[in-house]
Amino acid sequence: MNIHEYQAKEILNGFGIPVPRGRVALTSDQVERAAKEFGGRCVIKAQIYAGGRGKAGGVKLVHHPEQAQEFGKELFGKRLITPQTGPEGLKVRRILVEEAVEIAREFYLSITLDRNTSRYSLIASAEGGVEIEEVAKKSPEKIHVLPIDPFTGLRPYQARKIALALGLTGTVCEDCVELIQNLYRCCLEKDCSLVEINPLTVTKAGWLLAMDAKINFDDNAMFRHREYPDMMDYSQLDPLEINAGKYDLSYIKLSGNIGCMVNGAGLAMATLDVLKEFGGEPANFLDVGGGSTREKVAEAFKIILEDSDVKGVFVNIFGGIMRCDVIAQGIIEAASEVKCTLPIVVRMDGSKVEEGKQLLAESGLNVQTADTLGDGAQRIVSMLG
Ligand code: GDP
Ligand code: MN
């Protein structure tokens, strides 16, 4: 789960990590007022669920409150497109106004879950800022990676090693050691899959400051964090994803024209691969999970049909726990309700498969059934011709 920069900064601050003074604004008048409060010179930052804002024109240093207001007007409602947003971009509805800081140096610092080692890794670089992706590509030796042993945790000497590798000395170095340990504490206590400070800056006055912050929570830890849902900004999410979440369905939007309903993530991956193999382009995939009900299948099917990119639907379900006749009923119910005329191919197997196929055949829908994954994929691709 994503949160905004200003929320991430509040959390970091709660763990003793220094951040610039700032205010969140919802209107350009509020932007102006906040700018006045900070003496005119301030940084205006679009709050969206994506990085790369600096280069996309979402971050600006201004010198007067009027200039702040003007830029606020320009940003509100605008869709910012960055390498992390996808082609449609994300709409700006909140703006963070911060006191401007004189930067001496910019570092990169993060802790993230490394799924290969099943551990947190601390990642740091002396070449932080907006070019970090380039640094990682062109000179990976400038990025320091330290795997953290979950049993011993992050030891002070390890944090010091990183601070020294960043070229810090004296009190700033000691401040950084403390900051790194606080960052790790934050990561553990808040169950983050990522905490990132880029840039972590040393100001001209010699203080460490988290100038930007990004936090991702681990969705699986939702049950022990009552505070997570309240922090969610639904306006930043795909409405269909929100809807799917309500029914406990996993929905992922893709760029093609074939809607895919599957059960299980492994089968989903295989389905997408085989579709691609036959020249098809998936528009999305929706995982209805294991033991689903007819209602859930119907909701899932409706969500797929709501995506206007969908020109045909491919259902690939193995009825182990789930019965094929239940799946068929769900599809028929949803397709009839929204008067779907799109071609549908259903490949299902398992319990009550014959009953399921018969229900579909008698449904009057534009539906074909298939016995194998390859057969089904070929059919839907050729139906869309
Ligand atoms: P991102 O591009 O989405 O990662 O947004 P950032 O918050 O990292 O902002 C991009 C860049 O703007 C930073 O790398 C800084 O160089 C610059 N920036 C942000 N805040 C300030 C500030 O208070 N003063 C100055 N001089 N530059 C800033
Ligand atoms: Mn940044």
Judged on CB neighbours under 10 Å (0-12, 13-18, 19+), 168 is: buried
pLDDT, position 87: 84
**Cα distance between residue 27 and residue 77, in whole Å:** 10
pLDDT < 50 regions, the chain: none
Q: Which residues does the annotation place in the binding site for substrate? A: 263, 320-322
pLDDT, position 93: 96
Tokens for 273, please give them: 């691969």
User: Tokens 């399921």 correspond to what residue?
Assistant: 356
Task: Check pocket membership of 129 for ligand 1, CB cut-off 6 A.
Answer: yes
Q: Which residues contact 362 (CB under 8 A, 6 or more apart)?
A: none
**Cα distance between residue 176 and residue 145, in whole Å:** 16
49 given a catalytic annotation: no
pLDDT, position 104: 96
Q: Which of 32, 196, 299, 333 is catalytic?
A: 196
Tokens for 335, please give them: 């397709």
Atom of ligand 1 nearest to the CA of 130: 14
CB 157 within 8 A of CB 139: no
Residue 109 alpha carbon to ligand 1 centre in Å: 15
The CATH code that applies to domain 238-384 is: 3.40.50.261
**Domain definitions of the chain by residue range:** 1-20+102-236, 21-100, 238-384
CA dihedral angle for residue 125, residue 128, residue 133, residue 137, rounded to 10 degrees: -40
Residue 334 alpha carbon to ligand 2 centre in Å: 44
Which ligand is closest to the CA of 201, given by its number? 1
Residue 212 alpha carbon to ligand 1 centre in Å: 7
Around 57, how many Cα atoms within 13 Å sit in the side-chain half-sphere? 12
178 given a catalytic annotation: no
* Residues, Cβ < 5 Å to ion ligand 2: 198, 212
User: Tokens 């005329």 correspond to what residue?
Assistant: 341
Give the architecture-level CATH label for domain 1-20+102-236: 2-Layer Sandwich (3.30)
Which ligand is closest to the CA of 90, given by its number? 1
Residue 54 alpha carbon to ligand 1 centre in Å: 6
Atom of ligand 1 nearest to the CA of 51: 3
User: Tokens 């209805």 correspond to what residue?
Assistant: 288
CB 379 within 8 A of CB 368: yes
pLDDT, position 169: 95
Task: Check pocket membership of 346 for ligand 1, CB cut-off 6 A.
Answer: no
Q: Which of 49, 108, 228, 247 is catalytic?
A: 108
Residue 188 alpha carbon to ligand 2 centre in Å: 22
CB 17 within 8 A of CB 210: yes
Residue 44 alpha carbon to ligand 1 centre in Å: 10
Q: Which residues does the annotation place in the binding site? A: 45, 52-54, 98, 101, 106, 198, 212, 263, 320-322
**Cα distance between residue 17 and residue 186, in whole Å:** 10
**Cα distance between residue 267 and residue 290, in whole Å:** 11
| Prediction pTM value | 0.83
Task: Write the residue with the smallest CA distance to atom 19 of ligand 1.
Answer: 211
Which ligand is closest to the CA of 49, given by its number? 1
Task: Check pocket membership of 380 for ligand 1, CB cut-off 6 A.
Answer: no
Chosen CATH of 21-100 out of 3.30.1490.20, 1.20.1250.20, 3.30.2320.80, 3.60.15.10: 3.30.1490.20
**What's the chain look like in SS3?**
CECCHHHHHHHHHHCCCCCCCEEEECCHHHHHHHHHHCCCCEEEEEECCCCCCCCCCCEEEECCHHHHHHHHHHHCCCEECCCCCCCCCEECCEEEEEECCCEEEEEEEEEEEECCCCEEEEEEECCCCCCHHHHHHHCHHHEEEEEECCCCCCCHHHHHHHHHHCCCCHHHHHHHHHHHHHHHHHHHHCCEEEEEEEEEEEECCCCEEECCCEEEECHHHHHHCCHHHHHCCHHHCCHHHHHHHHCCCEEEECCCCEEEEECCHHHHHHHHHHHHHCCCCEEEEEECCCCCCHHHHHHHHHHHHHCCCCCEEEEEEEECCCCHHHHHHHHHHHHHHCCCCCCEEEEEEECCHHHHHHHHHCCCCCEEEECCHHHHHHHHHHHHC
pLDDT, position 360: 94
Atom of ligand 1 nearest to the CA of 43: 23
Atom of ligand 1 nearest to the CA of 103: 26
**pLDDT tens digit string along 148-190?**
999 999 999 999 999 999 999 999 999 999 999 999 999 999 9
Atom of ligand 1 nearest to the CA of 45: 7
- Identify which of 368, 379, 385, 383 has the alpha carbon closest to the alpha carbon of residue 274: 379
**Could you tell which of 63, 103, 214 is best to mutate to test the pocket of ligand 1, judged by most ligand atoms within 8 Å of the CB?**
103
